[in-house]
Amino acid sequence: MDRVIIFDTTLRDGEQSPGFSMNTMEKLEMARQLARLQVDVIEAGFPISSDEDFEATREVAKQVGTLESAPSICGLSRVGLGDIDRCWEAVKYARKPRIHTFVATSDIHLKYKLRKSRAEVLKAAVAAVTHARGYCDDVEFSPEDASRSDFDYMCDVLSAVIEAGARTINIPDTVGYAIPKEWGERIARIRERVRGIDTVVLSVHCHNDLGQAVANSLTALMNGARQIECTINGIGERAGNASLEEIVMALRTRRDFFGVETRVRSEEIFKTSRLLSHITGIHVQPNKAVVGENAFAHEAGIHQDGVIKEKLTYEIMRPEDIGRPSNKLVLGKHSGRHALAARLKDLGFDLSGPDLDRAFKTFKDLADRKKEVYDEDLMAIVTDEATQQVAGYELEYLHVISGTSVVPSATVKLKKDGQVFQDSGVGDGPVDAVLAAIDAITGMKGRLQDYSLRSATSGKDAIGEVAMKIDFDGTVVSGKGSSTDVIEASARAYLSALNRVTRPAVQRVKEIGP
Ligand code: KIV
Ligand code: ZN
């Protein structure tokens, strides 16, 4: 059967959208899970954009890209030769490295953003692909803003980069402007018009501004595209990218119609979706196709009646097809280190040595406070550990006074580089007071932009997961923390954000030009 290449860009396009940034450890956890999901390509980052992104891409290439039957590890690069060198330095450790270089081809971008002529851009694209081919065979080229580019000019650029050695031609609908019928026709015309197009893989990368990303990707496929770029939970710039789970399940459920297959192990989809939510602290909407909380819930009486009699009446997919578990009790207070390691491995976290020791200690503390420990609790523990591991301030002690007729106040002790600092603060509520005390110690003043609290499981003793977005003097970072005490979870979330902003590598290069 005809096969479609699934190119996952969760760690690049997904990660570059506000609120979804991940540190190296978090990217590695995600990349390991993407490898288990069996995507064909992981776009791990944009190495020139920051030292942190370079390091994360390199670690994914080294630690995931070298596994047996690892996916290709790809890095994004503008067409500047220095960008390509940096990209190669990051991806070169992988068994199958890929350089993905791009430049805009629409007149709008040429005139206002790049301030270059069509001829200059064509020349830069060819030079970039030639340079990248000097490093590896697997080179992908994208004409950014393809859906608004002059068709003939874009085809000239594509013919030229194929001649220069590009092996994959990716057509991005950068601004989510395309409509399925028109997009399908554009892909078909590219296949007719571009020289050498049959010798390369034709790919699409669709954004979701008009809610058409998945439909556009599938229409492109019907017109000859054989790689789809997508992300878990559909995250990405603005309204996001085409969602991987929707694409894969559409191809699987409607194999009769599309007649193509992917290598993706669909039973890993749910776990991958949840892992991303845990890592980023951003949850999918309940009615999200395939992975939303309600995706398999039948509420109407007539539907429930039908499903009880025969699932086929209202279910076109089975929960088990995407590996959706029942939230079962997994471990208790007497469970040992091996049992924890084995369960974590099933959940996508391969921990050993000091990482496992730390997780085990936290698990034991939790099992003492909480009778029943669920998969969701374990995921919260491990992702919280990963977040807290960015060097910096650690929470040592917290004391809060709050109530209906007192001014909320907090005393906080933090530890950094072996030294303990203490201060106190007052606020509108207990969380505000804790953050004021932390600000008094660190001398940094964060402005809370977003705060969300969610319980990892049901029950009064559930772990509370706090996700925050904080503006530290113009730099917005997200932080996460979890605990059975929601005030402590808030303090941890704030510290994880603060520790990230004090790392200089977090400053991203925003300017994009050739
Ligand atoms: O949306 C876009 O155009 C991109 C390219 C870099 C492929 O993300
Ligand atoms: Zn994009």
- Give me the tens of pLDDT residue by residue for the chain, a chain 514 residues long: 699 999 999 999 999 887 788 889 889 999 999 999 999 999 999 999 999 999 999 999 999 999 999 999 999 999 999 999 999 999 999 999 999 999 999 999 999 999 999 999 999 999 999 999 999 999 999 999 999 999 999 999 999 999 999 999 999 999 999 999 999 999 999 999 999 999 999 999 999 999 999 999 999 999 999 999 999 999 999 999 999 999 999 999 999 999 999 999 999 999 899 889 888 878 898 899 999 988 887 777 787 778 788 888 888 999 999 998 655 567 888 888 888 888 888 777 788 898 899 889 989 988 888 777 887 788 778 877 665 666 789 999 999 999 999 999 999 999 998 999 999 999 999 999 999 999 999 999 999 988 989 887 778 888 888 988 888 888 777 788 888 999 999 999 999 889 877 754 333 333 333 3
Tell me the best of 16, 78, 142 to mutate to test the pocket of ligand 1, counting ligand atoms within 8 Å of each CB and taking the most. Answer: 142
Beta strands in 293-418 (DSSP E): 329-331, 373-374, 394-401, 409-416
Tokens of 166: 């590009």
Tell me the best of 12, 13, 237 to mutate to test the pocket of ligand 1, counting ligand atoms within 8 Å of each CB and taking the most. Answer: 13
- Residue 253: partners with Cβ closer than 8 Å, 6 or more residues away: 316, 317
Q: Are 145 and 108 in contact (CB under 8 A)?
A: yes
Give CA separation, 470 vs 237, 359, 467, in Å: 19, 27, 10
For the CA of 229, the closest atom of ligand 1 is 7
| 141 within ligand 1 shell (Cβ under 6 A) | no
2-280: what fold?
TIM Barrel (3.20.20)
Give CA separation, 306 vs 37, 54, 299, 301, 409, in Å: 32, 53, 11, 9, 56
For residue 101, the tally of other CB atoms under 10 A from its CB is 26
Q: Are 431 and 490 in contact (CB under 8 A)?
A: yes
Tokens of 12: 């690049």
DSSP notation for 268-284? GHHHHHHHHHHHHS-PP
Q: Give the DSSP letter of residue 162.
A: H
Q: What residues are paired with 3 via a beta bridge?
A: 261
Q: Which CATH class is domain 391-501?
A: alpha beta
- Residue 92 Rama label (left phi>0; alpha psi -120 to 50; beta): alpha
Distance 49 CA to ligand 2 centre (A): 15
